[in-house]
Structures are given as C-alpha cells and as structure tokens.
C-alpha cells in the first residue's frame, strides 16, 4: 500500500494560481508518486475548481460550516486526486481567491480559511471521508489551523502534520475575538498558541502545533530564525529549530521544457542553443523593441513589489537603456510601481517595454528570449522563475537571499575559472550592488560570447526537478507517521 498524504492547499496549478504555492502544490504529487506516496489534495471549491472537477461525488456534508451548508466532494482534475470543499457562501467568488474586486482582502477570509482547515482536520482524523491519511502537509497560513484544530479536538486519531512555509510575510493575522467563531477555545489565545501581539496568527498556530515545519529552501530556513527575516516569529522558530527543515523547491520540468514547450516560436535545448536567437527576435518584435540581435536583453516576470526589489531594478533601467541594453517586463502589483515601469517604457520605447498583467505563455516566451533574467528580491523563500531561467538559458542575475542563493552559482573569478558559474549574485536591496552585477553581466555578454554560452549551458544542465525534494519530503512524512 502506498503512503497516504493529505495535502491542504488554498491554490493549485493549473486550477487556480496567484504564486509559487500553486506550482508547488500542483507539481509535488507527481514527484511523490515516484517515492510511493499517494497524494490527495484538499482545495477550496472556487468556481474554477468546480468547473474542472471530474466526478465530484459528495463524501461528507456539513449542515452549518462557518455560516452555511457545505459538502466535501471527491474527484479528479488536471490529473490530480482532489477533495474539494464546496461551500458556496465562502468560495463561490470568481477572481483572486483572497481579494475582492476592490483589491482588498475579503473581510471573511478568517472564516473562509478557518472552515477550510476545520475540514482538513476532520479528514485527517477520519471523521469526514474514507480517506485515512498517514500524514498531512498544510501549506501556508490558509491551511495552518489544521494542526491547531487537531490539537484542541477531543482525543482521537491524529496523523502527523507538517506545516510548510512558502512566505513568512503572510501569516493570516486577525482579531482575537474571532476565536469563538472559529470554534477554538479561549486557551488558544496564549503566547504558546495563536496569540500574536494582541491578535491571532493562523500561521503561528500551525508552527506551534505541527510535528515538523518545512520551508522552501535551506537558506530561507536559516534566515527566518533571525530578526530581520523572522517577521516576529524568529524566536518561536529558534525554539523549534530541531523540527525545521529547508527543502528546496523544484520546477515542473514537464511544463518548463524548452525542447517541447508549445508556447515557443522555436524550441531548443543545450545542444541547439543557437536556435534560441529566433526566440529573442520574436520577443523583441512582440514587445516592440529594436531589432538588434546582439543587444543585451534583460527580462523580469513577477510581482511588482518592494519585497521583490523591483524599485531597485527600476532605478537602473535608464542606465541600461542608455548603455544600449534592452528590458522586457511582465508583471503586476503595486500601482505606483506599475505606473513607474510604464513611464520609463514610454521614455525609451525601443529599449524598454512593460506589460502590466500576467500571461503564462508570455512568461515562457520571456524566459526563452531574454539573455539575462533579473530577480532583485529583498527576500525570497525559494523562487521558481530563476529555475525556469536556468532551464531556458536565460542567465539569472539575483539577490543573494533565500532560494536564489541556493540555486545560482555566482560568476566570480573562481567559478568562471572552474567553468561552473550559472549566473550572477549581488547583496539584496542595494542599487550599487545590482548596478555592478548588471555591468559585469553585460560586459561578459558583449565581450566573451563563448564564456556566456558556457554559463547558459551550465544553467540548462542544472537539475531543477522535484526528484531530490520528493525524496526528502517522503522521508520526513514517514518519520512523523512512524
């Protein structure tokens, strides 16, 4: 019999996605199957999920779950085994799963994801379906109350629980008076439970009561035990250091494969790297950039926020344009940054282009067409786009934080001499440091095409798959189930 894992995730690629959590939750089941771990994912019944669900048999009914009747459905979608919480009063809303049309958090988010975790705990305890999981993986604050409910439920079956931190900056912090509505006892409002500076933190509760804690890169696991990156939870994490693991995320190498990617104008691999030039030319045309085959073309895809260091990148774009470089952006986020990127693109129309929004196919085309890919994050738990850049021959230029530090080998003198470099690193949050990295990268691109191509091929040869992570996760899940 395979090991049975219940994955509890508020988003799941390709059904619903706002960030890397969806990619991880969507790709890990297939990787774990190779380790004889069968994954069933519990996900909220957003409209897009219900439309995609095949089967959808009711396996449990709640007369009243956080304000309304609800069903747990079992079925499949996108090749994944699913349990879906069909609670129309909580999840029958199109668009972003967390934000309303005004761009603000849904006011009832604590009840929405409290209900979600309540159901996860019921399934884990064998009260809601015939699925009896050996272990539970709860992803981020939206699922973190799973371990809390299991802690305060009456004695009974309790499988091991792992809470996985994808980004400690998002903790699910809400008023303490909601404890009663969430069905939690007053004693949960305590320093060694959910209390967080006078409020309650869903994520803190999960970190306190889970058997093990994981986050998505070894460096980030170290960083969050320090005050600068610990977001007020560094003390707690230090006390649980023996139970904290940093397991580096992988990339779905079936979805991200330049040799078979249907979105590309010209597929290629490390042996046919010269074909990549056709993708660069197509990208320049698509973005309205000057048709200059040897111009240094930098790209970036992602959220336009200060956390991602996009203000640092923005400050350097005029210098890049005036030095003959080019830049292509795809992203959305802070309105002021959106406007600023659009403004600099208008100032240099044939050298800088900004697409505000998100387009999965265009993201692939950017990775396949740019010469270098920028990720100047002030902190980055793991990052997946730098892994895609490596795989697609776009040389990453990254801040030396979190998973970026773990996945990119800096092109310093020793690494260049040994022929092992895969990109460029610089200290986070520093305009001069990023300027130096960009200058070094452009100089190498312009002056030494042979070494540049070696760096590209090194990146494309890097194993960014889920295989190693799946082995680590499988061993961890079996430990807590023993």
pLDDT tens for 36-93 read 999 999 999 999 999 999 999 999 999 999 999 999 999 999 999 999 999 999 999 9
CA count, 13 A, side-chain hemisphere, 46: 18
Q: Please state the pTM of the whole predicted model.
A: 0.93
Q: How many Cβ atoms sit within 10 Å of the Cβ of residue 108?
A: 15
d(CA 396, CA 144): 33
Q: Which residues of the chain have pLDDT under 50?
A: none
Give CATH 3.40.50.2000 domain extents, the chain: 3-250+466-481, 270-461
* Long-range interactions of 270-277: CB distance < 8 A, separation 24+: 270/393, 270/456, 270/457, 270/460, 270/461, 273/393, 273/453, 273/456, 273/457, 273/460, 276/368, 276/369, 276/393
pLDDT attached to residue 482? 65
pLDDT attached to residue 381? 96
Q: What angle do CA 322, 325, 331 make, to 5 degrees?
A: 110
308 annotated ligand-binding residue? no
Q: 3-250+466-481, what's its fold?
A: Rossmann fold (3.40.50)
Residue 180 in tokens? 């009663």
d(CA 91, CA 114): 12
Q: 270-461, what's its fold?
A: Rossmann fold (3.40.50)
Nearest of 365, 300, 386, 370 to residue 337 by alpha carbon: 300
């Amino acid at each position: 019999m395979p090991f049975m894992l219940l994955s509890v995730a508020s988003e799941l690629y390709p059904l619903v996605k706002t960030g890397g959590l969806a990619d991880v939750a969507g790709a890990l089941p297939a990787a774990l199957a190779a380790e004889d771990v069968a994954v069933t994912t519990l996900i909220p019944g957003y409209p897009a999920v219900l439309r995609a669900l095949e089967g959808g048999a009711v396996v449990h009914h709640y007369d009243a779950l956080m304000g309304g009747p609800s069903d747990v459905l079992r079925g499949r979608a996108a090749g994944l085994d699913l349990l879906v919480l069909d609670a129309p009063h909580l999840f029958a809303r199109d668009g972003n799963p967390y934000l309303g049309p005004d761009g603000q958090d849904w006011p009832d988010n604590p009840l929405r994801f409290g209900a979600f975790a309540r159901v996860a705990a019921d399934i884990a305890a064998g009260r809601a379906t015939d699925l009896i999981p050996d272990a539970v993986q709860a992803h981020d604050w939206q699922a973190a109350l799973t371990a809390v409910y299991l802690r305060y439920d009456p004695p009974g079956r309790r499988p091991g629980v792992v809470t996985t931190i994808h980004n400690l900056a998002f903790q699910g912090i809400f008023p303490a008076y909601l404890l009663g509505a969430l069905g939690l006892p007053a004693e949960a409002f305590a320093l060694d439970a959910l209390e967080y500076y006078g409020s309650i933190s869903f994520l803190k509760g999960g970190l306190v009561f889970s058997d093990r804690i994981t986050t998505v890169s070894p460096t980030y696991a170290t960083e969050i035990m320090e005050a600068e990156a610990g977001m007020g939870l560094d003390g707690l994490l230090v006390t649980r250091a023996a139970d904290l693991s940093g397991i580096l995320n992988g990339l779905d190498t079936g979805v991200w494969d330049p040799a078979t990617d249907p979105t590309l104008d010209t597929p290629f691999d490390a042996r046919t790297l010269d074909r990549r030039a056709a993708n660069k030319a197509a990208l320049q045309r698509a973005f309205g950039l000057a048709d200059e085959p040897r111009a240094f073309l930098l790209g970036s895809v992602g959220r336009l926020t200060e956390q991602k260091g996009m203000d640092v990148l923005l400050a350097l774009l005029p210098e890049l344009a005036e030095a003959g470089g080019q830049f292509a952006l795809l992203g959305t986020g802070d309105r002021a940054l959106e406007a600023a990127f659009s403004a600099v693109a208008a100032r240099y129309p044939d050298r800088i282009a900004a697409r505000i929004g998100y387009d999965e196919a265009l993201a692939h085309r950017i990775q396949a067409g740019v010469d270098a890919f920028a990720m100047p994050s002030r902190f980055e738990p793991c990052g997946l786009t730098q892994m895609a850049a490596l795989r697609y021959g776009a040389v990453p230029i990254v801040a030396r934080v979190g998973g970026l530090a773990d996945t990119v080998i800096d092109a310093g003198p020793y690494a260049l001499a040994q022929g092992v470099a895969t990109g460029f690193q610089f200290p986070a949050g520093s305009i001069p440091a990023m300027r130096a990295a960009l200058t070094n990268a452009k100089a190498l691109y312009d002056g030494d095409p042979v070494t540049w191509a070696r760096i590209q091929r090194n990146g494309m040869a890097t194993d960014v798959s889920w295989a190693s992570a799946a082995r680590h996760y499988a061993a961890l899940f079996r430990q807590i189930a023993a």
